[in-house]
Amino acid sequence: MNITKVALAVVLLSSTQLAFSKSSVEQVSQKYQEQHAEIIQKYAIKNNKKVPIVVDYKYGMKIDVAKLIHQTRDIETCGNFKKIMSYEDSQGKLHSVRYTKLGSCRSQQG
């Protein structure tokens, strides 16, 4: 009976930790995306360009990167997180693309 209670406690605690880390990653990702939006808005105004609408990357999407302007920072996590990359194409037009990246899971590396 004690083993069952201990096992149940471990499962409940680990699921709580997973939920906390998931919401924490989403909050950090949101913060980075908001910072990115401010940086790109300032860049667009300074360079007399239209502020781009962020589009979600779709497989096969053509991306013409002539100059990388800014990208959000990576998040140390074992799960996926969202990043945004803003760039100028070969015509000088500003674009922003949001994509999903797999975390590096540093806590499990030797």
User: What confidence tens digit (pLDDT) does each residue in 23-39 have?
Assistant: 688 888 899 999 999 99
**Predicted confidence (pLDDT) at residue 57 exceeds the cutoff of 70:** yes
- DSSP state at residue 73: P
Higher per-residue pLDDT: 75 or 45: 45
pTM over 0.85: no
Which residues have CB under 8 Å from 59's CB, separation 6+?
none
DSSP string of 12-51? HHHHHHHHHHHHHHHHHHHHHHHHHHHHHHHHHHHTT-PP
**Predicted confidence (pLDDT) at residue 71 exceeds the cutoff of 70:** yes
Which residues have CB under 8 Å from 10's CB, separation 6+?
none
What is the structure's pLDDT at 79? 85
Rg, the chain, Cα only: 19
* Rounded distance between C-alpha atoms, residue 98 and residue 72, angstroms: 10
